[in-house]
Amino acid sequence: MYKGFLKLIVLMLFVIFITACSGGSGPGVIDKNFKEGVEEIEIEFFENAPPRDVFQKSEFKIVPIIHNKMGYDAHDVTIKLVGLPEEFYLLQRTYEDNIFLEGRSLVNPEGDKYIGEFGAQSGTLFSSAKERGDNFFVKVSYSSELDFSDTLCINPSLYDVSDAGCKSEGRKSYSGQGAPLVVDKLDEIISPGVNPSIEVRLKLKNKGDGEVGSVTLKNSKLGGVEMVCRFENSGIEINKFKFDKDNEEAILICLLPIESTQSYTTTFVASFDYDYSIKEKKQIVIKSGFD
Residues 193-252 that bind other proteins (CB under 8 A): 244-245
Q: How far is CA 155 from CA 28, 144, 206, 229, in A?
A: 43, 34, 31, 20
- State how far the Cα of 240 lies from the Cα of 248, in Å rounded to an integer: 14
Q: Does 124 contact other proteins by CB under 8 A?
A: no
Nearest to 38 by CA among 203, 169, 208: 208
- State how far the Cα of 190 lies from the Cα of 156, in Å rounded to an integer: 6
What character string, x for contact with other proteins (CB under 8 A) and - otherwise, covers 155-194?
----------------------------------------
**Cβ of residue 231: shortest distance to other proteins, in angstroms?**
21
Closer residue to other proteins, CB minimum distance, 34 or 89: 89
Residues 270-289 that bind other proteins (CB under 8 A): 277, 279, 281, 283, 285
- State how far the Cα of 208 lies from the Cα of 92, in Å rounded to an integer: 31
CA 224 to chain centre: 26
Closer residue to other proteins, CB minimum distance, 226 or 244: 244
- State how far the Cα of 98 lies from the Cα of 184, in Å rounded to an integer: 30
Number of residues that bind other proteins (CB under 8 A): 31
Identify which range of 1-9, 44-52, 137-145, 147-155 contacts other proteins by CB under 8 A: 137-145
Q: How far is CA 44 from CA 63, 123, 281, in A?
A: 9, 25, 10
Asked if residue 50 has a cis previous peptide bond (ω within 30° of 0), the answer is yes
**Cβ of residue 126: shortest distance to other proteins, in angstroms?**
5
Nearest to 45 by CA among 81, 87, 91, 94: 81
Identify which range of 18-26, 32-40, 80-88, 171-179 contacts other proteins by CB under 8 A: 80-88
Q: Does 15 contact other proteins by CB under 8 A?
A: no
What character string, x for contact with other proteins (CB under 8 A) and - otherwise, covers 89-118?
-----x------------------------
**Interaction site with other proteins (CB under 8 A):** 80, 82-88, 94, 125-137, 139, 141, 244-245, 277, 279, 281, 283, 285
